[in-house]
Structure 1
C-alpha cells in the first residue's frame, strides 16, 4: 500500500508567532515531525505543505520534499485540514503520482516517533479501515453520558438519554481526538469529502507523554517534556 505523509505548516500562526520553526529544545518544532516521518518504514513519500519560504527552507533542511508552495487561499485561519490534504493529493495526481492513503502529521503534536507512525499505519492496513486516528480517553466528568446540553431553558443529557448513568464504573469509554495522527483512504478524502469515512479505527494514546501546542502555556509544557526526555520512552514516543 502506498501511503503519502503530509506535514502541514503554514506561516500565519497568531497564538505563538513563527511557531512551526520556533526552537523547541534546541531544534525547530517542525523538525520533530520531520525526523519521525522520514524515518517511518511505511510512508512512501513525505511532503511539506506550506505557504512560507522560511518554513519551506527548514523543512528541506530536515529532509522533507516540497513539491509545491501552498496557495494563499489555503493558508488562512479558517482553512480546514481536509482542504489542505485534498489540494496536495490532487496536485500529485496531476503529476501522475497516486496513493492509496494519506497520513496527516501536524507539527503542533511533536512528541511522536517513527515507531508510533508505523504502528498506526499497520493497524490501518490490517483492519481495512476508512481511517485511523489517535485519541485519548475522556475523563469521567467529561463523558458525554454525564454532560448536559441546554434546550429551551432546561438541561438535557447530551446523549439523549432520559436517565443519567449514576456510577462512574458503568460509563462506557469515550475518547477525544488528540491530533497526533490521521490516516485516511484517498478515496474517502476525495469521493466522500471526509477525513474519517464510516469505518474509523483508533490508536489510544492515553497515559503517554503528550502535548498539542496551541498556546504559550502548551509551549512551556512541551519544553518541560522535551527537557525531561521521558516522551522518548513511552507509548506515544516509543523509540525511533
Structure 2
C-alpha cells in the first residue's frame, strides 16, 4: 500500500504566532512530526503543505518534501483540512503519482512514540476500515452518557438521547476523543469529500504524551512535557 504522509503547516497561526517553526525544546515544532514520519517504514512519501516560504525552508532542512507552495485561498482560518489533503493528492496525481491512502500528521500534536505511526498503519490495513484516528479515553465525568444539552424549551436533556442517566460509573460504555496525533484515510474516501467514511477504526495514544498546541498555555504544557 502506498501511503502519502501530509503535514499541514500554514503560516497564519494566531493562538501561537509562528508556532510551526517556533523552537520547542531544541527544534522547530514542525520538526517533531517530520522526524516521526521519517522513522516510519510504511510511509511512501513525506510532504509538508504550506503557504509560507519560511516554513517550507525549515521543513526542507528537516527532510520533508515541499512539492509546491500552497495557494493562499487554501490557507485561510476557515480552510478545511479535507480541502488541503485533496489539493495535495490532486497535485501528485497530475504528475502520475498515485497513493492508496493518506496519513495526516498535525504539527500541533508533536509527541508520538517511536513505532506509533507504523502501528496505526498496520491496524488500518488489517481492519480494512475506511479510516483510522488516534484517540484517548474520555474521563468518566465527561462521558457523553453523563453530559447534557438543551432542548427547544431550554431544559436539559441527556446528550446521547437516553431516557435516564446511567447511575454507576462502572456501567458507562467506554468513550474516546480524537487526540490529533494520527489520521489515516483511504484516498477513495478523500475523493468522496470525507475524512472518515463509514468504517472508522482507532488506535489509543499514550496519554502522557498528549498535547494539542493551539494556545500559549498549550505551548507551555508542551515545554513542560519535554522537560519531564
In 1, the alpha carbon distance for the partners of 2:214 and 2:104 equals: 17
Q: Supply the distance in 1 between the matched residues of 2:111 and 2:49 (Cα, whole angstroms).
A: 20
Query: Would you say 1:134 and 2:134 are equivalent positions?
Result: yes
Whether the 8 Å contact between 2:32 and 2:111 is mirrored in structure 1 is yes
CA distance in 1, matches of 2:206, 2:41: 24
Contact 1:135 1:206 in 2 (8 A): no
**1:134-213 paired onto structure 2 within 5 Å:** 134-151=134-151, 152-190=153-191, 192-205=192-205, 207-213=207-213
Q: Tell me what 1:215 maps to.
A: 215
TM-score by length of 1: 0.93
**Which structure 2 residue ranges, 5 or more long, are not aligned?**
none
Shift of 1:207: 3.3
Counterpart Cα distance in 2 of 1:48 and 1:113:
20
With the length of structure 2 as denominator, give the TM-score of the two structures.
Answer: 0.97
How far 1:60 moved relative to its partner?
Answer: 0.2
Q: Is the 8 A contact 1:106 1:181 kept in 2?
A: yes
Asked if 1:76 is matched to 2:76, the reply is: yes
Aligned length: 227
Structure-2 separation of matches of 1:221 and 1:66 = 30
- What corresponds to 1:238 in structure 2? none
What's the counterpart of residue 102 of structure 1?
Answer: 102
Q: Secondary structure at the match of 2:209?
A: coil
Matched with 1:232 is none
SS in structure 2 at match of 1:195 = coil
Matches within 5 A, 1:36-51: 36-51=36-51
- Matched residue, 2:25: 25
